[in-house]
Structure 1
Amino acid sequence: MDRADARHLLRRTAFAVKAEQINEIAGLSRNAAVDLLMDFGPNPPAIAPPSVLDPEGRRWEQHRDLALWWIERMRTVPRPLQEKLALFWHGHFATSAEDAYYAFHTWDQNQLFRNHGMSDYRHLVHQMAIGPAMLAYLDNYRNKAGNPNENFARELLELHLLGVGNYTEQDIVEVARAWTGHMLDDEKHHYQFQAYHHDYRNKTIFGITKDWDGPGVINEILDGSKKQTAARHISKSLFEFFAYPNPEPAVVDRLANEFIAGGLQIWKLVRAILQSNEFWSAQARGALVRTPIDFVVQCMVGAGSSTDEARPDWWLETMGMAPFYPPNPSGWGANEYWVSSTAAWAKADFVRHLTWKTTKRNHLAEVAQIGAKQAVELMLSFFGIEDASAQTKAALENYLYAERATWEWPQHANLLTLTMLSPDIQVA
């Protein structure tokens, strides 16, 4: 694996490319590098910010604290793929803090995605379904026999497990009945199955008639008549997250078969994707638009800025990606979804703020002491884009030559700003 391969792998498995990580994996085989990055042993335990666990706390402040804590963890953990997958599941099984009764419900779900995001898919889905965050967000906490609520049933089939076209409207009606009684306790603290609210009559789901219960529906989807469809659905979603959009059907089929053969172990599917020829192909390189979270973390890493200093939460909402506040049950979009004038202005404002904070403590000041070409190369390396296009390098060098011919003081700050706003940092 050369340095270009290392950058590609890190752009997909981390939030930021760091020089020390490139040095760590460059020279390894591709498979060995993937296995190394999938070993989460070096990551410290995740400990919730104290405010988040207070049932009497103000939820918006608690979720702000949790978001800042999470972004800082994304920035600092040795193996950020663990957090990358937690973010993927947060978008795939989307819930919003707006609907959480308590912030610790959001924390519990975040921990589920962190601790089990690479383990058994069955366990992850079952725990997601009865988590208080999901029960509240999609209203299953008030799904009762005689008055079923179809919100969770619809999204479970359409978004979470099968995809559009792989179930009927009647299936949704019957799945909703199967999930009656799976609710929250009276204090809204924990999941509780309330038998007196469950519909015990027969239901016909996927053409099978019996007394279905909610967890049994998940079992049928993952291990029964719908297992191939379910495996294709999640294989395609994860491939698009890591590799490129609209994968060839044969690729999805191959990954789905490997996922099933591997016992629905998520780590085996992730490894199959990251070690595939398609992942390493020219088609995959630079094929994804960076999410706002990836963008701010990469900028913070390059600028040597902590979350407390950078306060990315002030801008992420305008960029369209405030953690714990996805726009709807389908989560966030991808690629062109992130390209807008509103997001561009928010990025520019964030970069200006970060530049001010960085130059105030005289970080990267050595850039002013070396030649223009070397200064640009050094700056690009700080932000993980030493492979920037010739056009970008020329534009930055020409700017620096012009600046130095006129005055001295702004060159460091302005070069920092321009690097963070370059086209190359916007893609992964």
Structure 2
Amino acid sequence: MKKSNLWSLRLGFSGKESDKIEKLGLEKFLKHSYESKFDTQLPVFLEDDPKTLIELKELRESIKTADSEAKKKLLKREVYSAIEFKKWWISKIRNDEFPLRENMVCFWHNHFVSTSQKVKVNYWVYQHNMILREHAFGNFKQLTKQILKSNAMVKYLDNGDNKKGKINENLSRELLELFTVGIGNYTESDIKEGAKALAGLNVGDDGAVYRKFAEDNSDKTYFGKTGNWKADDLVDIIFEQKNIPYLITRKILKWFVYDKPPENLVVYYGDYFRKVKFEIEPLLTKIFTEEYAKDTSGTKIKDPLVYILQLIDELQMKTVDDAMIVYFLKQQGMDLYNQINVKGWDGGNSWLTSQIYLQRNNTSDLLCSGRSITKKVIKTMAGDTEKPKSKFEKIEVKIAFDSDGNNKTIITELSDRLLFKVNDSIQKDMEKLLKYDFDPKEAHANFAVIRLFNYITKLPEYQLI
């Protein structure tokens, strides 16, 4: 696979940025990505959603007292907002000129997991998502402080139930186990003392606040330091620990480059991360530029988001309903804002179970034949026995190829763009599909090349980047 295509898929979600990477060079491409602007305006679909605790209380009371018809309307609006929220993010992912920021938001979203299913307040989940976007390339320590005091995280990890004399350890435990130092680098005492420090931290209008009646103002001993610690203090102390950089560098390497990152690289980049005082931007630049220079193709399985957006991009599909992408991701186990647990999506082999692989193949068949994805169709792919009743909507699809070439040059062109490795067997199969007498200027040449593309999408090699 051509290196610029490989890294366009890794740093974004499709091959669209390949030309930019070649034209600008990787370092300039990264600089543009870091400097990219993002919209901070509240999305329209959230305008009528509750944003303060009073508004939230009023909505819940109105649902309780409403008749069945009015209750249906109110609940329908909540569901509508949740779906629109996912479409809003998919649109950003698909349309940003430099999508690395959104890829980092996805990374942080899967690191600081907080699901809408548990939080139930769309505005809080939106605030959480915007914190990740704002700090995507910023300072890991500062981001951790912000997330720890976000309404979504406090609600998701039950810190509203954490009160003086009645401790809930969920937030304290995950802060250490999953968000910062990782298992084996703290004690149960640190978790208990940390939970005391977080007691009384509960949801507020502009983020979580301490409630005086529930907070614990006694001295706590945390990683050997004693004082009346609060949320920010905990993070400051955690970031003094020797093992703090390695959990996150392992996860970044896994998200972008290797499903199984070599331990020496985890330590190497972790030591550098500490040296730059936990600034994300220089860490990413070092990782990407150094790993770009190596031959690392085929070390990572595409996640469902990369798979579907690459497919759409290669087929040059102009009219795609973002809701259908949302639904496809859910069927593939990558439901945005709704990971199955606080550990997030596992990635790696979990993205290529037999069911997911079959569904990918069926989706490729569908799109390559110029038919649109509908909810009913995806349900059928997932194994529902009911056949879709409505006819498929036809869509225009085409593949970019050199019309001045021949069958072998076009096979090479697609191979360089799509496959990290081509063996003799694959080459022979492709030549059978696109035969020597193929005429690239003939009216139906596009259909022949799409048939070849469809074959390529089903290869195990195509699933890797």
Question: TM exceeds 0.5?
Answer: yes
Q: Which of the residues 45, 60, 63 maps onto 2:79?
A: 60
Deviation at 1:52, TM superposition (A): 3.4
User: What is aligned with 2:21?
Assistant: 25
Aligned twin of 1:395: 429
- Cα shift at 1:157: 0.4
Aligned to 1:50: 44
Counterpart in the other structure of 1:218: 235
Secondary structure, counterpart of 1:209 in structure 2: strand
Equivalence for 2:285: 271
The question of whether the paired residues in 2 share the 8 Å contact of 1:99 and 1:137 is answered with yes
Distance in 2, Cα, partners of 1:158 & 1:107: 25
Larger mean CA deviation between 194-203 and 160-169 belongs to: 194-203
Q: Would the aligned equivalents of 1:377 and 1:386 in 2 still touch at CA under 8 Å?
A: no
Instruction: Indicate which of 256, 260, 279 corresponds to 1:242.
Output: 256
Q: Report the Cα offset of residue 417 of structure 1.
A: 3.1
Aligned 8 A contact 2:34 2:281 in 1: no
- The answer as to 2:165 corresponding to 1:162 is no
Q: Which residue does the alignment assign to 1:341? A: 354
Q: 1:133 and 1:243 mapped to 2: Cα distance?
A: 30
Q: Partner of 2:221: helix, strand, or coil?
A: strand
1:422 to 443, 459, 463: 459
Q: Distance in 2 between matches of 1:207 and 1:419?
A: 57
1:73 to 92, 101, 104: 92
Cα deviation, 1:351-405, whole Å, max 9, x if unaligned, reads 2342333793433178798854455456567xx4165524444423313449989
Instruction: Name 1:302's counterpart in structure 2.
Output: 314
Match of 1:39 in 2: 34
Alpha-carbon distance, 1:272 to partner: 1.5
1:203 to 217, 220, 228: 220
CA distance, structure 2, for counterparts of residue 403 and residue 360 of structure 1: 29
In structure 2, the partner of 1:316 is 329
Task: Give 1:140 shift.
Answer: 1.0
1:245–1:342 distance in 2 versus 1, CA, 3 Å: closer
**SS of structure 1 residue aligned to 2:213:** helix
Residue number in structure 1 paired with 2:101? 82
Deviation at 1:29, TM superposition (A): 5.1
Q: CA deviation at 1:189?
A: 7.5
Moved more, 69-78 or 251-260: 251-260
Identity of paired residues, percent?
23
Change (3 A) 1:117 1:212: same
What do the CA deviations read for 1:67-103 (whole angstroms, capped 9, x no partner)?
2222222122111110110000001111111012311
> Are the equivalent residues in 1 in contact too, given 2:201–2:211 (CA < 8 A)?
yes
Q: Which of structures 1 and 2 has the bigger CA Rg?
A: 2
Question: Does the 8 A contact of 2:119 with 2:152 survive in 1?
Answer: yes
Corresponding residue for residue 326 of structure 1: 339
Alpha-carbon distance in 1 for matches of 2:6, 2:448: 30
SS class of match (2:2):
helix
**Contact 1:183–1:192, Cα closer than 8 Å, also in 2:** yes
Q: Is the 8 A contact 1:34 1:275 kept in 2?
A: no
| Partner of residue 385 from structure 1, selected from 414, 418, 422 | 418
CA distance in 2, matches of 1:134, 1:309: 27
Alignment partner of 1:180 out of 175, 178, 199: 199
Structure-2 separation of matches of 1:241 and 1:387: 18
6 and 99 in structure 1: CA distance in 2 versus 1, 3 angstrom threshold: same
Work out the CA distance in 2 between the residues paired with 1:209 and 1:412: 68
Structure 1 residue 7 and structure 2 residue 21: aligned? no
User: RMSD of aligned C-alpha atoms?
Assistant: 3.1
| 1:368-383 aligned within 5 A | 371-373=406-408, 376=411
CA positional deviation for 1:323: 0.8
Are the aligned partners of 1:368 and 1:411 in contact in 2 as well (CA < 8 Å)?
no
Q: Does structure 2 retain, via aligned residues, the 8 Å contact 1:295–1:425?
A: no
* Structure 2 unaligned regions, length at least 5: 50-73, 373-392
For residue 244 of structure 2, what is the amino acid of its counterpart?
Answer: A
Show the counterpart of 2:384: none
Per-residue deviation, 1:325: 0.8
Q: Larger deviation: 338-347 or 242-251?
A: 242-251
| 1:47 positional shift | 4.8
Q: Distance in 1 between matches of 2:153 and 2:437?
A: 54
The question of whether the paired residues in 2 share the 8 Å contact of 1:290 and 1:427 is answered with: yes
Cross-structure match for 1:231: 245
Q: Deviations over 1:253-280 (max 9, x none)?
A: 332232222222111111121122x453
Q: Distance in 2 between matches of 1:46 and 1:308?
A: 23
Which amino acid in 1 is paired with 2:140?
Answer: Y
- Give 1:212 deviation, angstroms: 1.9
CA offset at residue 296 of structure 1?
Answer: 1.0
In 1, the alpha carbon distance for the partners of 2:273 and 2:407 equals: 50
TM-score after normalising by structure 1: 0.86
Deviation at 1:245, TM superposition (A): 4.3
Alignment counterpart, residue 397 of structure 2, candidates 331, 351, 363: 363
2:418 partner SS: coil
Distance in 2 separating the partners of 1:265 and 1:330: 23
- Contact 1:13–1:80 under 8 Å retained in 2: yes
Deviations 1:396-422 (A, max 9, x none): 3313449989xx797466444334333
Deviation for aligned residue 1:44: 5.1
Kindly provide the amino acid, as one letter, of the partner of residue 282 in structure 2: K
Residues 311-320 or 242-251, more deviating: 242-251
Kept after mapping to 2: 8 A contact 1:318/1:342:
no
